[in-house]
Amino acid sequence: MKTMTCRDLGGPCDLAHQGKDADEVIKLQDRHLKEAEKAGDTTHQEARDAMKSRWRHPKRSLGWYNDTKKAFAALPES
């Protein structure tokens, strides 16, 4: 298991997401941003909008995805 924070993934807070791979952590971040938006947390809105764009345009967002996978791979196991 490895840990990345909301901030590591482009968000504004330090909520930790743990996963066995980068895809799992990205999905946890997406859920976190959806919940923050639903709760009316405007501090997460910019990150939520960016995540929505990545899901809608995955080929265009491949750079962010590959960078995130590399950053995850470089992390120590927790």
In the chain, where are the structural domains located? 2-74
In this prediction, residue 25 carries a pLDDT of 98
- Percent of all residues in the chain with a pLDDT value above 70, rounded to a whole number: 100
| pTM summary value | 0.91
Q: What is the pLDDT of residues 20-39, one digit of tens each?
A: 999 999 999 999 999 999 99
The pLDDT assigned to 24 comes to 98
- Backbone φ and ψ of 4, nearest 5°: -130, 145
Residue at 27: amino acid letter: K
pLDDT of residue 22: 97
- Taken as a whole, the chain contains a residue count of 78
